[in-house]
Amino acid sequence: MKAIQELFVISVGISLALSGCSSTKGDDSSLSPDLSPRSALPFSEPLAVGDPQNNPADAYLVTSDTGKVFVSWTEQVLDGQGRNVFIGTVASEGQQLSEIRQMNQQPISGHGGENLAKFAVSPGDQVAAIWTPFSAEPGHPGLPLKLTHAEDGEPFSAEKVLNDDQKEVSRANFSGMGTSPDGKIFAAWLDGRNDLDAKQLFMAISEDGKTFSKNYSIAPAACPCCRPSVNFLDGGQTVLVAYRENALPSGYITPDNVRDHLMIRSNDGGRTFSDPVVISDDGWVPIGCPHAGISIDVDSWDTIHAVWWTGGRAADEAGIYYTYSEDGGESFIPRQLISKTAEDTVLHTQVVADKNDTVYAAWVGIREERPQILLTHRLAGQQQWSPIDHASDTSWNAIYPMLTVDNEKLYVAWTERKGEASQVNLRTTPLVGN
């Protein structure tokens, strides 16, 4: 039933002709559905990431400026609670992992998902990683955000605390990280240190990945359970942060609390940020916690691409949407529907642009009552998305897709669950434009 609802769309929106409009409420009616998904991309066989005995989960992917593809994941702690987090590099054209290192000393949170461990790679393939540690307390009161660092191929440093509020019980979590083209690492996260109704969006910057700046607030109210995204324009001169709004602000669920996605921009290296721009006026008011942030990537022309899920103003507006900005995030074109979905099931998305400016979008779609990882792409300069591809094809539930690219391949990783068991799979496919 859900599969029927989720109509894949080969989409040429009339609205796209309105590129640059400041109004972002899209006209979805001009889009034509395609009910016959086909697979076009030649995917490699899945690579099982991590030790299958320890239920791997929570994949995260980053390509360094040297072209190394790093993947992180978590595994259950043996005879204990919480999880360990590992990092490795993808070798042999996506068929092998190498240089596997454990990043944590103390167990990390087992929740993963939207609040998964993140890392950034700075020049020389140095890695800085942050995560939420495991808490045995009921109600998950939250512990400080942990931080670690490693030189290329070396063991990770002792864990430190990223948030500088000195509170034992912290409400810092749901992070995003990015490495600017000039090598600085930016970390953004949701922070409840000021005990306001809403969480604030905080940031800290590192020159070397080892130590971070003083923490500072960059947005006064953000949805408390959705990851932010950190990206860059102009060779790092402009810092972009996208997050889900919390309109009132109120940390509580109210009938008029819109949770659309916003973008703020900094032209001074992350010191100050602009007022937020609404990425898409979806008008979604969830009476609940979305636990789903937006995915953003920037192509070689500094066009900002965004893919997200929304429940919409009405049930028939729910779906996976795409938009882009060609003016540095000052405005976005009206949203373009990629796939219709159910309004009550939150789905996770990813977007990445490759060296040819081909844009790939991945999301969780429901097929035969199972979540699977679906993929589409559009070539540079074209408005039309490709037929749908299935990255996963499994009797397990496939969730939380991650994407990255190098000069040759697209890398897709995700978590699969069946009961209490989980596993991480990774596949590659040659870049379309190549």
Partner 1 sequence: MFPILALAIPGLATTLWRTSLEAQTSQPQIVTLKGRVIDLTCAVKGKVMTGSWNNVAEDHMMEDGSIQKACATLCLKGGQPAALFADNKITAIFACNPRGTDAAPHQGYTLAGYIAFAAEVEGYWADGKAESGIFVPLRIRRGILSAERRYSEGGGWKELYCGPIESKS
Question: Which residue ranges make up the site for partner 1 (CB under 8 A)?
Answer: 113, 250, 252-255, 286-292, 311, 344-348, 364, 366, 369-371, 397, 399-400, 417, 419
Minimum CB distance to partner 1, residue 374 (Å): 12
Considering beta carbons, is residue 103 or 318 the nearer one to partner 1?
318
Considering beta carbons, is residue 295 or 429 the nearer one to partner 1?
295
Minimum CB distance to partner 1, residue 404 (Å): 22
Of residues 230, 297, 225, the one with CA closest to residue 259: 225
Instruction: Compute the distance between CA of residue 38 and CA of residue 114 in angstroms, rounded to an integer.
Output: 29
Instruction: Compute the distance between CA of residue 381 and CA of residue 259 in angstroms, rounded to an integer.
Output: 31
Residue pair 226/244 in contact (Cβ under 8 Å)? The answer is: yes
Minimum CB distance to partner 1, residue 390 (Å): 15
Contacts (Cβ under 8 Å, ≥6 apart) of 203: 186, 187, 188, 215, 216, 217, 218, 241, 270
Minimum CB distance to partner 1, residue 73 (Å): 16
Considering beta carbons, is residue 270 or 371 the nearer one to partner 1?
371
Minimum CB distance to partner 1, residue 249 (Å): 13
Strand 421-430 relative to strand 409-418, pairing: antiparallel
DSSP code of 144? P
Minimum CB distance to partner 1, residue 223 (Å): 13
Contacts (Cβ under 8 Å, ≥6 apart) of 389: 37, 39, 40, 41, 43, 374, 375, 376
| Amino acid, single-letter form, for residue 18 | L
Beta-sheet strands, E only, within 23-117: 32-34, 47-49, 57-63, 69-76, 83-91, 96-102
Considering beta carbons, is residue 195 or 275 the nearer one to partner 1?
195
Considering beta carbons, is residue 42 or 255 the nearer one to partner 1?
255
Minimum CB distance to partner 1, residue 302 (Å): 33
Minimum CB distance to partner 1, residue 346 (Å): 5
Considering beta carbons, is residue 244 or 409 the nearer one to partner 1?
244
Residue pair 122/183 in contact (Cβ under 8 Å)? The answer is: yes
Considering beta carbons, is residue 168 or 369 the nearer one to partner 1?
369
Minimum CB distance to partner 1, residue 371 (Å): 4
DSSP code of 412? E
CA angle 278, 282, 288 (to 5 degrees): 105
Minimum CB distance to partner 1, residue 420 (Å): 9
Token pair 């509580």 is at which residue?
Answer: 252
Q: What HEC string does 91-131 produce?
A: EHHHCEEEEEEECCCCCECCCCHHHCCEEEEECCCEEEEEE
Considering beta carbons, is residue 265 or 291 the nearer one to partner 1?
291
Considering beta carbons, is residue 233 or 373 the nearer one to partner 1?
373
The secondary element (H helix, E strand) that includes residue 4 is: helix 2-5
In the sheet that 83-91 helps form, which strands lie side by side, from edge to edge? Answer: 57-63, 69-76, 83-91, 96-102
Considering beta carbons, is residue 268 or 344 the nearer one to partner 1?
344
Residue pair 121/179 in contact (Cβ under 8 Å)? The answer is: yes
